[in-house]
Structure formats: structure tokens, C-alpha cells
Structure 1
């Protein structure tokens, strides 16, 4: 799978509540370390060859995530699944419609597409009100697809019983909200240089990998560089947890940039 050089920017690395969590005064939520402040999980992927920019998931924090990195352009959105912390910010793509004078391509599996059409019904109306998001919705299945010069391989994982789509772009793989991956899909991850994987907390969880489960999976897949995301305040303080990880594994944090 040939691809251009990529720049990855972590827009958010928190779970559905974000960190700090409303009403919580635990050590993580009251930490002064900027790496303990996490918006909802999303990444921006930029091709350093042709400038193509895509976002995986539009969180409730999407508007602020775009403003704080001063991102002026967006070519597409890839969605992982229909939970609110991953889709709620879609309305704010209107700004890109306005400045780019074009519809925005959006890629989602059937379950997520149905949720988008339900939650953002006004964007899909036949006689849409002026100023609504202008979206071209594309269904994602198991087949690879391309956005400009980026070749994208969907990877289907399980969030308890919900199918979630991870994405591999070149040597970069992004998987969030998973607690199980079938063997055939694991094969699609192997050979990645960088894997981003959800690691919610220390204790086991019904639908997310715990930290130990995420570490074990990354070791099984033999990925040289691993970043954990979709982190809750229950995981612990960033600097303390980071010290306990294998040397090639890291906690991602908001604003982290990687080039691959």
C-alpha cells in the first residue's frame, strides 16, 4: 500500500466525557499538566505530498479542535461509529462548505450513515434550508477507497456488539472504541509503522480495551510504535502511566503531532 508522507495531529484523546469530567475533582481532572486535559478523540491526517486533509470523527469539540490548530482546509471526514462523542460536531463543517465552495465528502458505515441522517436530518432534506452542512455521504464497507492520493483501508473491529470502522492509511492505523478484533482484520493492521489504539482505563471494561489489553494486542501485532487514545480519567495521570509503558508505547495527548 503506497502512500505519501503523512502528518498526524491528535485533536482529542479523551473518552466520551473528556478530561476534566464535569463535576469531578479527582487527581487527573484537577491536574495542571496540559497532557491531562483531553477533548474527545479525533485525529487530523494530512498528506505532505498533496496537502489533502482528512479528519477521523467530528466530536462535540470539533469546532474548537479546528480553531485551536488553526486548520483552514478539510477534504473529507471518516467516521468510525455512531456514538455521540464521535459524530456530534458534524454541523460545524458548514464553515468548510462556505470557504471551500463545495460539499464535504463524508465516509461512514451503514449504521453510522443512518445515525447521521437521523441526527442531522436537516442536512439531508430535499429542500434544505440555506446554510445547512452540505455533505456527500459515501458508505464504507470492507473495500479500500481513495481520497485524492490517500489510499484508505477500512478495518472492522468490535465495540461489544457494535461494528466500528478503524482506518489504515499507508503505514498508519487508527482504531478507537474497540474491545475485540477478528483475526482477518488483525492481518490488515500488521506491517503498520504506527498504531493508534484505544485504552480506556486500568480496569476491564465491557466495550473498550483496558490498558493491559491494548498493550497485549499491540505486542501481538508487533507494531514498532504505538499510541494509546480514548483515555478516561480512571487511567491515571499522564506522566505516571507513561513511565510504566514499554519503551515503544506512549499515551497520546491533545496536540501531539507525528510524521510518518
Structure 2
């Protein structure tokens, strides 16, 4: 509301976006239609951000730490989407090796790595290095839940 106050100040003129804000609170599930979404806390450097569990699907991006109290939310995910920015350490994102370790600890059936940088390497070469149940995501990827 601070950055786009003209949208929220009550002034109506052609072209102004109409936005219906819905607050998401950590650990409080919400619905989109009949789909239940469970948010949970992960860490982006020092800042708490949200991951999401939807049935057996878990989505975490822009994170470098999963607090112990949130680990139960990702355990045994059928599909885990997790960021893996690059190989070298980064202040606010998982590295490739950290993401692989998180996937293993979570006992995810399949993991798709996203939020990857060109610094990670060529898709085809990096994919060959990964365990059989971990894949590099790509633009246009469709997952069936």
C-alpha cells in the first residue's frame, strides 16, 4: 500500500487496478477455491518468508534455511520445489549441494530445483550430476499433482 498508494486512496479513474488484498498469516491455512494451502516459515538471509504446502506438493523459493519447526511441513512431499541458486555460498539462497541435502532430509519423492542462476552451469550437464529423483526445473515446466 505504501508503494502503490494511488491504488488504495479511494480515487477512481480509468485504468487504475482493482486489487482485493488477502493477508496470509504464517501457519494459518487458507483456501483458493477448494484448494487448501498451508503456509509455513522459511528464512531468506535473516528475513522470514513463506513456503507453501498444497496436498503432497511443497514450494519453497528464495530461502537459505528451513527452521526445525517448519521441517514437518516438507517431510515426505511427493513433489518438492526448492531454490538452488548456484554452487557457491550465497547469503540468502540455497546452494546446489544444500538443496540436495534438504531434499534428502525431507525424504521428497521428487524434487525440482528452481531459482537457478547461469552460474550453476549448463542445464544438461548439471542434470547429469543430480540424483535420479532431483531435476532442474525450466521455463514452461508443468507438474501434475
Q: TM-score band (shorter)?
A: over 0.9
2:9 is aligned with 1:125: yes
| Residue number in structure 1 paired with 2:67 | 182
The two structures have a TM-score, normalised by structure 1, of 0.54
Unpaired segments of 5 or more residues in structure 1? 1-116
2:96 to 211, 217, 224: 211
After TM superposition, the runs of 4+ consecutive aligned structure 1 residues lying more than 6 A away are none
2:22 to 135, 138, 141: 138
| Residue number in structure 2 paired with 1:172 | 57
The two structures have a TM-score, normalised by structure 2, of 0.95
- Relative contact order: is structure 1 or structure 2 higher (C-alpha 8 Å, sep ≥ 6)? 1
| Residue number in structure 2 paired with 1:9 | none
Please give the root-mean-square deviation of Cα atoms over the aligned residues, in Å: 1.0
| Residue number in structure 2 paired with 1:253 | 138
Q: Distance in 2 between matches of 1:183 and 1:175?
A: 15
| Residue number in structure 2 paired with 1:198 | 83
2:136 is aligned with 1:244: no
CA deviation after TM superposition for structure 1 residue 121, in Å: 2.1
Alignment of 1:1-150 (within 5 A): 117-141=1-25, 142-150=27-35
Deviations 1:123-163 (A, max 9, x none): 21211332222111111112001111100000211001111
| Residue number in structure 2 paired with 1:162 | 47
Aligned length: 144
Unpaired segments of 5 or more residues in structure 2? none
Instruction: Give the SS at the match of 1:153.
Output: strand
Q: Distance in 1 between matches of 2:73 and 2:12?
A: 40
